[in-house]
Structure 1
Amino acid sequence: MTTPARVKMPSATSIVARSYPDHVIGIENRLPWRLRTDLALFKSRTVGHAIIMGRRTFESLGRPLPGRLNIVLSREPFPEQSNVQWARDVSTALLMADIYAICNLQRQFFVIGGERIYREFSDVINRVWLTEVFSGRINGDAKFDFEFSLNDWWSHSERDYPATDQDEYPFRITCWVRRKPQHRERFVDEFRSSDSEVLSKLNDWLALQTSNPMEDAVEQEQLSLFPKP
């Protein structure tokens, strides 16, 4: 197979947890609730993928998340580790995520916060896993105030979870899907200065898309994350 001059890139997905009704996502760089079920679902979705975050979000985690490429977007240089890469701007972060996804034959990567990062990637996000935490009114210093217009987004799936010993508040997870996906493409030449493994994987990546259309495959993967009651 001859590699074409342009290749469709992986799709961008956001994962957000916010309070209802105030849309708070953080207080002093920490989550304002304890939801072990939501954290477990976050892990199951993101393991094996690239995840893009800001410096403060990375610091709030306390360590690099294992089994993923942690891409930290920051204006200032950031110390890199085996599974941590620093991106000085959005375009660099996207290229890193694209390279990792192609090399690992993944159809998507994730944007996980915080507030500024969600805004900066909003134009390329095709899918959002939104957790609405029914905590009542709380004060916070970071928010996700985005409203999902039904003209531009549709609710693919939705499930409610009760408060339990492991989950401080009841919450709802909705998967929002952009009606007109943003299909990013790159010229193959953009990868020639990176690891040669990328070029060797491009044909496999193209075959994966041809045999299993990206959107159908992502839907099946994400549907399986909603266990039956």
Structure 2
Amino acid sequence: MPSVASIVARSYPDQIIGIENELPWHLGTDLQLFKKRTQGHAVIMGRKTFESIGRPLPNRKNIILSRSEPEYLNEYKDLVWAPNPTTAFLLADMASIISGKMEFFVIGGEQIYKTFHSYLNRIFVTDVFCGPINGDAKFEVDFDSKTRGTKSEWIIDDEEEFPKSEKDEFPFRITEYRRRVPYHRYRVKEELMGRAPDIDSYWEQYELKLHQLEEDAGEQLDFFR
């Protein structure tokens, strides 16, 4: 099934990601990169994260994970509700297969990141050098942690520093982490049948794209890299 990725911005070194459901900074460059990475993909978020954004992200399938159905659900075209993580996975898988995407994104908040962390294969972390700040939500993941006698679970695929600028309130660093041993999810094809129109034809196109990627990479499921 499609791979699961995540994008998060946090303060350095305190790992704060929000205060009263708002970002504690404005980073125009980081927002542009977020848009570029997620456009055309499915994104999973909590109710509070959606309400802090105020509207569905354009050109993306917006999935709200919440115990209760949002009262504004029918007001937006590209907004769907998942009452549990299993349903969120199902909706993201269908959207990814129909759009031909190999992964979808988890974008917050704190509890949503924790819920999906064990399934993630890629995480884009923006460390914001804003100094000590107060906050009520954190992203506390140590990417260097390891058990005795083993390597770290995560590998740095890419890293870039950005200075403070007119559109960036603070300097920051974006690091792309990849899980050393990818987590592969499996789902019986029939589970998706009947849940979306013509899913069978989309599935065939998706499988062809998968096989082509495998051949190009020279090893199975290398698109997780």
TM-score (norm: length of structure 2): 0.91
Say if 2:49 is the partner of 1:57.
yes
Q: Write the deviation string for residues 56-108 of structure 1: whole angstroms up to 9, x where unpaired.
A: 00000011111000100001112242100000000000000000000010000
State the one-letter code of the partner of 2:153.
D
Give the match for residue 85 of structure 1: 80
State the one-letter code of the partner of 2:54.
G
CA offset at residue 188 of structure 1?
Answer: 1.0
* Distance of 1:183 and 1:204 partners within structure 2: 20
Say if 2:182 is the partner of 1:181.
yes
Which of 86, 90, 105 is 1:95 aligned to? 90
* Distance of 2:181 and 2:80 partners within structure 1: 31
SS of the equivalent of 1:123 reads helix
Give the match for residue 59 of structure 2: 67
SS of the equivalent of 1:12 reads strand
Give the match for residue 198 of structure 1: 199
Contact 2:3 2:224 in 1 (8 A): no
Q: CA RMSD in A?
A: 1.3
* Distance of 1:208 and 1:121 partners within structure 2: 26
CA offset at residue 197 of structure 1?
Answer: 2.2
CA offset at residue 191 of structure 1?
Answer: 1.1
Give the match for residue 119 of structure 2: 124
Say if 2:13 is the partner of 1:21.
yes
SS of the equivalent of 2:117 reads coil
Say if 2:43 is the partner of 1:48.
no
Aligned residues: percent identity?
49
Give the match for residue 167 of structure 1: 168
* Distance of 1:52 and 1:102 partners within structure 2: 16
Q: Write the deviation string for residues 101-158 of structure 1: whole angstroms up to 9, x where unpaired.
A: 0001000000000000000001111100000000011010000011113521000000
* Distance of 2:198 and 2:17 partners within structure 1: 37
CA offset at residue 215 of structure 1?
Answer: 5.7
State the one-letter code of the partner of 1:123.
S
* Distance of 1:142 and 1:176 partners within structure 2: 21
* Distance of 2:42 and 2:69 partners within structure 1: 19
Contact 1:103 1:197 in 2 (8 A): no
* Distance of 1:16 and 1:162 partners within structure 2: 18
* Distance of 1:195 and 1:96 partners within structure 2: 10
> How many residue pairs were aligned?
211
Contact 1:161 1:172 in 2 (8 A): yes
TM-score (norm: length of structure 1): 0.89
State the one-letter code of the partner of 1:86.
W
CA offset at residue 216 of structure 1?
Answer: 4.7
Q: Write the deviation string for residues 187-217 of structure 1: whole angstroms up to 9, x where unpaired.
A: 0110123113221111111111111138655
Which of 131, 136, 141 is 1:141 aligned to? 136
Contact 2:82 2:88 in 1 (8 A): yes
* Distance of 1:61 and 1:185 partners within structure 2: 32
State the one-letter code of the partner of 1:175.
E
Contact 2:182 2:224 in 1 (8 A): no
Structure 1 residues not aligned, in runs of 5+: 1-8, 220-229
